[in-house]
Amino acid sequence: MATLIFKGLFATAQNTPYPGQASNGPGGADYLHHSVAFSDAATRADGYWLFEPADPKPDSANVVVFMHGYGAYNPMAYGKWIKHLVAKGNIVIYPRYQKNLLLPRPNGFPANAAKGIRDALAQLQTGDHVRPRTDQVAYVGHSYGGVILTNLGVHWEKFDIPKPAAMLLCEPGSGPLKGARLPSYEGLPADLNLLIVVGEDDYVVGHEFGLLVFETATQTPNRNLIVQRRDTDGHRWVMATHNEPYSYDLDFDTGIRNYTTARVLQTSRLNEVDFNCYWKLGDALLGYTREGLYHDVAFGSTAQQRYLGHWANGQAIRPLDVFLPQHIPAIAKAQAQARAEAAVAK
């Protein structure tokens, strides 16, 4: 096992709301812990980073596995979201799964990620770590991380990792690469609570993979497909690109620099899309899965689920669009029509 390079380093968690963040509830700033213990065991491609709640330190905590996008093996890329999850009382495991942008090939990502998860859980059972509660593990993934998570979700027994109880896929996809993808996701657990979020203007991986999971996870009835769209009040824009889940925090900067980290530093915004889309939906999904809370925020195309906030003038920001399993035939019909129109245009 790799040495814990940063064992004992504490980062301050968020104590008060960020501008635009609700004071409480899913996505809100009603935090239970005020520091994050950050451990680095990620020198290898199958390594991991650990983030544990502190100040006060609990004896045990629920676990969120956070799977980064391609090349984002520097946890600063999602640092503020990680702080939010930990301050809410979760242990966050952040598998590395890549050595660099070229190695390993994507088919090797799931095995590397699974080993990181297993080793992190084993490490948490030692010393003065917060002990992990593994009966309701949640999995959150962005971009290629969503491809890896759905592979692990189908094959969790083979990889000897905790069965996923909840899964949030954020702009999931593999772009031109195909490694680790499955032809169908009907093998996902029947009792999994699954949310898939895609952005209207995601031109990196598009919507194809998110739709594939939504349409083929036929044994997983509690699933919603959510589309986040751009909007403006004439002064500010809310964007809907592939980069929206990023929320960098240099407290967790490991010094790694590559194409992805450069994009993170250039494009990351902390705004309503974080607070009222990704963070809100993630918190609601965890609350519903673990305690039966916030079902109307996590699922069902309710006003609470679709809410994305208000502009300074009081006008509502364009709400999220939500599709339920019964909408799949209409989605398929619209896709076929779009393909036919594109063929005629050629």
Q: Which pLDDT does position 192 carry in this prediction?
A: 98
| C-alpha closest to that of 276 among 311, 234, 323 | 311
Side-chain half-sphere of 115: how many Cα atoms within 13 Å? Answer: 15
Residue 169: strand pairing partners: 141, 196
Give the Cα separation of 291 and 283 in Å (integer).
Answer: 12
Q: Which pLDDT does position 7 carry in this prediction?
A: 53
Q: Which pLDDT does position 3 carry in this prediction?
A: 36
- DSSP character at residue 310: B
* pLDDT by 10s per residue, the chain, length 346: 333 444 557 888 888 899 999 999 999 999 999 999 999 999 999 999 999 999 999 999 999 999 999 999 999 999 999 999 999 999 999 999 999 999 999 999 999 999 999 999 999 999 999 999 999 999 999 999 999 999 999 999 999 999 999 999 999 999 999 999 999 999 999 999 999 999 999 999 999 999 999 999 999 999 999 999 999 999 999 999 999 999 999 999 999 999 999 999 999 999 999 999 999 999 999 999 999 999 999 999 999 999 999 999 999 999 999 999 999 988 877 877 777 777 777 7
Q: Which pLDDT does position 335 carry in this prediction?
A: 78
Give the Cα separation of 38 and 145 in Å (integer).
Answer: 21
Q: What is the pTM of this model?
A: 0.96
Tokens of 127: 């010393």
Under DSSP, is residue 6 helix (H, G, I), strand (E, B) or coil? coil
Give the Cα separation of 19 and 82 in Å (integer).
Answer: 18
CATH code for residues 9-345: 3.40.50.1820
Radius of gyration of the chain (CA): 19
| C-alpha closest to that of 34 among 56, 61, 49 | 56
Omega within 30 of 0 (cis) for the link into 17: no
Tokens of 22: 């609700």
109: CB partners within 8 A, 6+ apart: 97, 98, 144, 147, 148, 179, 180
